[in-house]
Amino acid sequence: MGSLAFYPVDPGMPVVTGTSYYVDASTVGTEVGTIENPFRTLAQASAQSLSAGDAMLFKKGETFIGEFEANYIGEVNNRILYGSYGDGEHPIISTLIDQPLTWTDVGDNVWESVEDVVIITRLYRNNAEIMGAYGAPLGTTQPDLCEWDLNGAKLQVYNDPTSDTFQFASNEHTFRAVDGRGLYFYGLDIRGGREAGLYGTAWEDVTVSYCKLSRDCYYGLRVKNHYFNNGNANVLIDNNFVQSGWTLDYKEAGIDADSFRGAREGMMITDNFSDYTITNNYFQDHCHSAINIYDNHVEGGIRNLVINNNYFTSPTIPYGGRIVAYGWDLVGYEIAYNVFEDQFGAREQIDGHDGYIHHNIWKNVRDSLIDPVGAEGVCIRMNAEHGLVRNNIIENNVFYECQGSLDFGSGTTFAEGGGMELITIRNNIFYNTSEEDIYNSVPIRMFNGNNVEMNRLYTMQNNMSFCTSNALFGVSLGGWEATDRIGVVQFESETTAQGHTCNGNITADPLFVDAEAFMLGAGSPAIGVGLVPLATIDYNGNEIVQGSEGTGYDLGLYNQGSEPVVADRTGMTDIKQGYTTGMLDDFRDKALAQYV
């Protein structure tokens, strides 16, 4: 069984309309920024004034050490470009350097630096990353595979380090774009940064394309302090490799809470903003989230977030790699055409209003190997942690061989400003999911689903579930006991006192052709039995039409007759299925009118 991975492609560097300046770390000469006499250092390049349409280009195959400041403002249709030139690999811009340290033996094979060190998030010994203890002193309380920790401002390590070299980031950030507007980042490999490799605030009209992010740092990309009232952020993040480079297995590293080892987030984007599109990226090995979107309860909230056509995997990380999109005021988002494969404790944590989650694949999502609280292998979790969650649709997804599929529940009431309502789940296929007892052997679990003060008006229609080892599939409404389930018969037709509706659901084998494309085979009971979806484009980018068999639409990813998808989906660019919240109004109003 192969991978479903697909990879970013080079969209090409945009045309430069102004003056191009060049940087070559190996140059010897007058260093004035021309292609004949390029700048040599990042300090020289940062000091060069740039205007709209200009470009600062770094030579491919070269490594540049230090922090770079992108201080200048471009225009929406005439941006300042930070890109690359020449032949070879992406130019590396890094703050990871050798740090000269002297040492004192403090006993028990623990050595402490004489010098104070800045906060370290990732540490390398003789150019190989080593495991941090995170929260407890070195010694007998830590497993042997934890090799360093901070004792106040001092670095502690095991074994005599006096002949070794140590590397960690010299700066908080590597590439900074504060109040970044009218910018285009292309073809750069940005590494290091104690906090972030690429850092920005208040971005508007910014593109990050075909870059390599997340090595040797805590956040691959960190953007904050947006200003919603200034207009749309209009940020595009596309065709990037967001790979942490973390290779250490820490499942036996003595941790019983969420892990902070390695690269914590591939991308961390917070505060209020609108119009962010994250598409065609490859995310790998992040110890908390591949993407973390968070509304910090500031005026304006988050609007028009699109996450589509991305590939997510964390096969060597015992916990993490998920999407987080939540907050007090997250409205109008779309998560579509993504693949989530080989993740542990991933649980895509998604809240908000008027969200549309469709045509995604979850494959082999399992419980965390380090078993922190809340690290079940659930594909999607909505829990109203930060306010009311309502009017979200989950349709035409495939959940394959996952430990848990959908998890819903509110810990707050509608009267308290929380609660969950008007959640629609339809046209999905659940295959060999939720077999563990903790999931009640059902694909959909609803905490407090029988409490009308917290949860109401869920609709579960025309889904298909199949399990080779347990035929009892349905919905768990209230808790952990088998008596809380809606079983097979009720899963096909049931309306509860809380206004939850189940009908048209099927327990049957969808007859996938294989576990790569998830195409429906001939005679599949999933053909022609679905409801009309909001999306008009299937997983292959083909128009969705009524099924050739039966009177309805096909369940799962494809319109029947669509050509099978192949492992390389590089041609799947720009097929986002836009929709407006108005498209959901009729459904919402009718559902609310039914509830008494």
- Of 83-92, 243-252, 265-274, 352-361, the one with minimum mean pLDDT is 243-252
pLDDT (0 to 100) of residue 371: 59
Whether residue 499 is found in the same domain as residue 562: yes
pLDDT in tens, 58-96: 999 999 999 999 989 999 999 999 999 999 999 999 999
Q: Is residue 194 part of a domain?
A: yes
Name the token pair of 6. Answer: 């697909």
Are 361 and 339 within 8 A, CB to CB?
A: yes
Contact partners, residue 383, CB within 8 Å, separation at least 6 = 349, 351, 389, 407, 408, 409, 410, 411, 420, 447
Task: Say yes or no: 565 and 530 in one domain.
Answer: yes
pLDDT value at residue 101: 96
3 with 23, same domain: the answer is yes
Residue 305 lies in a domain: no
- Please give the pLDDT value at position 405: 84
- Average pLDDT of the residues in 389-397: 94
Q: What percent of the chain has pLDDT over 90?
A: 45
- Reported in sequence order, the residue ranges of 351-452 that DSSP labels E, i.e. its strands, are 356-358, 361-366, 378-382, 389-395, 398-400, 404-409, 420-426, 429-431, 444-447
Confidence class of residue 171 from pLDDT cuts 50, 70 and 90? very high
**Residue 165 predicted with pLDDT over 90:** yes
Residue 254 scores a pLDDT above 70? no
The verdict on residue 301 lying in a domain is no
519 occurs within a structural domain: yes
Res. 42: pLDDT tops 80: yes
**Predicted local confidence at residue 48, as pLDDT:** 96
pLDDT score of 233: 84
User: What tens digit of pLDDT does each residue of 202-235 get?
Assistant: 899 999 999 999 999 999 999 987 655 454 589 9
Highest average pLDDT, of 197-201, 368-372, 460-464, comes from 197-201
Mean pLDDT in residue range 16-44: 94
Q: Which of 198, 215, 241 delimits the end of a domain?
A: 241
So what's the pLDDT on residue 561? 55
Residue-level pLDDT at 335? 95
Residues 226, 360 share a domain: no
Q: Are residues 501 and 590 in the same domain?
A: yes
pLDDT score, position 37: 95
Stretch 413-439: mean pLDDT, rounded? 81
Q: What number of other Cβ atoms are within 10 A of residue 387's Cβ?
A: 21
pLDDT, tens digit, 9 for 90 and up, residues 426-435? 999 999 876 5
Among 195, 219, 241, the domain-final residue is: 241
CB 406 within 8 A of CB 380: yes
* pLDDT value of residue 43: 95
- Tell me the pLDDT band of 247, cut-offs 50, 70 and 90: confident
Q: What percent of the chain has pLDDT over 70?
A: 79
Together in a domain, 148 and 198: no
pLDDT at residue 163 greater than cutoff 50: yes
| Residue 54 in this model has a pLDDT that exceeds 60 | yes
CA distance 482 to 442: 10
Rounded to an integer, what distance in angstroms lies between the CA atom of residue 355 and that of residue 94? Answer: 38
Within this chain, do residues 559 and 484 fall inside the same structural domain, yes or no? yes
- Whether the pLDDT of residue 351 is over 90: the answer is no
SS3 content of the chain, % helix, strand, coil (to 5): 5, 40, 55
CA distances from 323 to 339, 381, 424 (A): 12, 10, 20
Given 150, 168, 186, the domain boundary residue is 168
Look-up: residue for tokens 């029947």? 560
Decide: helix, strand or coil at residue 68: strand
Predicted pLDDT of residue 589: 44
Residue 309: inside a domain: no
- Mean pLDDT of all residues belonging to the chain: 82
Residue 246 included in any domain:
no
pLDDT at 242 over 90: yes
- Give the pairing type, strands 273-279 and 302-308: parallel
Q: Are residues 356 and 384 in the same domain?
A: yes
pLDDT band at 547 (very low <50, low <70, confident <90, very high): low
Query: 131 with 90, same domain?
Result: no
Could you tell me if 440 and 342 lie in one domain? yes
Question: Is the four-CA dihedral 181, 244, 6, 577 of positive or negative sign?
Answer: negative
Q: Do the domain assignments include residue 446?
A: yes
Confidence (pLDDT) at 475: 66
State the residue for tokens 């430990």. 403
Mark whether 418 and 523 lie in a shared domain: yes
**Digit-coded pLDDT (tens) for 450-482:** 677 888 888 889 999 888 765 555 666 655 454
Read off the pLDDT of residues 315-340 as tens digits, 9 standing for 90 and up. Answer: 878 778 888 888 778 888 999 999 99
Note whether residue 288 is domain-resident.
Answer: no
- What's the domain count of the chain? 3
Summarize pLDDT for 498-541 with one digit per residue, the tens.
Answer: 778 888 888 889 999 887 789 998 889 999 999 999 998 999 88
What are 267-309's pLDDT values in tens digits?
A: 999 888 888 999 999 999 998 899 999 887 666 688 889 999 9
Range of the domain at 116: 97-168
In a shared domain, residues 158 and 191: no
β partners of residue 293: 269, 325
pLDDT of 248 > 90? The answer is no
Largest CA distance in the chain: 80
